[in-house]
């Protein structure tokens, strides 16, 4: 696919939906459908609707002449508590794929979690933006030696954390039928092919993924790497408590953008229970449905340390490569900064649970912030 340049000035993009609209026009229909799936799913739509059910209670007469959005995530200082979730096949959106995404993230001084299903190797991605903060999204292999190899490669390439998706339940990732010659260098071991047709890819994933992935695998992972470990896909307080017991460093409250089990809770609704269950013993992040800086502010008020975005980054990548990714992130930062000022917060640490209530507060007189 050829590189795409945005036909409108940066000033024209006042909402993430502006990037979405242009990306839909520029991308081939099958690529757009792949990135958007399931476009009509309940969970995908609920992720976005749920943010609207929370109300902000701004504090006034505070000095917000300067607003600092900086945050520390897993020991790395970022310019904002917004980072990039792992998503697959960035080269479908732009020829430079994940290398461009890494450059955009580094330019915005925030973190990028690289998928095992990236179209460039984790080493090439690191080299493209050596100053960037990166995590690696691990897909455990049936052969533990291959999983160990991925861990050593991530450690050697300067990645700071291993992300493990826990909600795929052994289901192989899919790829659109028209895809040919998709490069997956992070899943190439020995004689395994560097390029896959769609049918080959699906067969490879079916035959080589470890399934099921269990808590024993998390314990194994903790013993076999010194990198930070984040579990992505936890929605229940019980699982959050178990994650703390096995020593993970972070939990990302996620429903995989609605791509797995449709009908699960919106992530912002699940977040407060997870925060209470973790009780400060690990970082808690959230992704799913974030479309504005106000959404970010609400998630932070409910207790998230950082908010992750997936599809909006792909829209920016499709529009304008690395610059488009940076523009998406910068827009979110600017919106968050304005929302913080309007809410009376001059720094991220000022964002407290008292800043937010659920709409039921006004319907039923519930006085529990975020409840």
Query: Which member of 89, 94, 256, 358 is catalytic?
Result: 256
Cβ proximity of 271 and 284 under 8 Å: yes
358 an active-site residue? no
Cβ proximity of 243 and 253 under 8 Å: no
Phi then psi dihedrals of residue 242, to 5 deg: -65, -40
DSSP string, 216-244: HHHHHHHHH--SEEEEEEE-SHHHHHHHH
Phi then psi dihedrals of residue 206, to 5 deg: -65, -40
Q: Residue 137: enclosing H or E segment and its boundaries?
A: strand 133-138
- CB burial class (10 A; 0-12, 13-18, 19+) of residue 164? buried
Cβ proximity of 127 and 352 under 8 Å: no
Number of H helices, E strands in the chain: 13, 14
What ranges make up the beta strands (E) of 142-301? 161-165, 182-183, 195-196, 228-234, 250-253, 283-287
Q: How many C-beta neighbours within 10 Å does residue 188 have?
A: 14
Tell me which residues are annotated as active site: 256
């Amino acid at each position: 696919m050829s590189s795409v340049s945005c036909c409108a000035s940066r000033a024209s993009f006042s909402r993430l939906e502006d990037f979405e609209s242009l990306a839909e026009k520029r991308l081939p229909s099958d690529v757009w459908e792949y990135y958007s799936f399931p476009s009509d799913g309940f969970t995908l739509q609920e992720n976005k609707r749920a943010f609207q059910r929370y109300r902000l209670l701004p504090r006034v007469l505070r000095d917000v002449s300067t607003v600092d959005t900086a945050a520390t995530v897993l020991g790395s200082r970022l310019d904002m508590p917004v980072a990039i979730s792992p998503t697959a096949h960035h080269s479908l959106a732009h020829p430079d794929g994940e290398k461009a995404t890494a450059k955009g993230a580094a330019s915005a001084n925030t973190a990028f979690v690289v998928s095992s299903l990236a179209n460039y190797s984790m080493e090439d991605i690191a080299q493209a933006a050596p100053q960037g903060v990166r995590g690696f999204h691990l897909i455990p292999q049936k052969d533990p030696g291959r999983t160990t190899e991925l861990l050593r490669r991530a450690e050697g390439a300067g990645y700071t954390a291993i992300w493990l998706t826990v909600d795929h339940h052994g289901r192989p990732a899919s790829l659109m039928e028209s895809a040919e010659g998709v490069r997956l260098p992070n899943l190439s071991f020995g004689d395994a092919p560097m390029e896959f047709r769609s049918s080959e890819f699906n067969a490879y994933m079916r035959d080589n993924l470890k399934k099921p992935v269990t808590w024993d695998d998390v314990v194994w992972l903790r013993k076999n790497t010194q990198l930070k470990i984040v579990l992505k896909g936890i929605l229940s307080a019980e699982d959050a408590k178990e994650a703390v017991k096995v020593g993970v460093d972070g939990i990302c409250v996620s429903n995989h953008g609605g791509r797995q089990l449709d009908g699960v809770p919106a992530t912002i609704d699940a977040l407060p229970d997870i925060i209470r269950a973790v009780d400060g013993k690990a970082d808690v992040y959230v992704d799913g449905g974030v479309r504005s800086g106000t959404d970010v502010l609400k998630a932070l008020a409910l207790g998230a340390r950082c908010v992750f975005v997936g599809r909006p980054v792909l829209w920016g990548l499709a529009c304008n490569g690395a610059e488009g990714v940076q523009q998406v992130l910068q827009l979110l930062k600017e919106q968050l900064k304005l929302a913080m000022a309007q809410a009376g917060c001059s720094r991220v640490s000022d964002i407290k649970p008292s800043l937010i209530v659920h709409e039921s507060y006004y319907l039923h007189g519930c006085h529990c912030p975020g409840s």
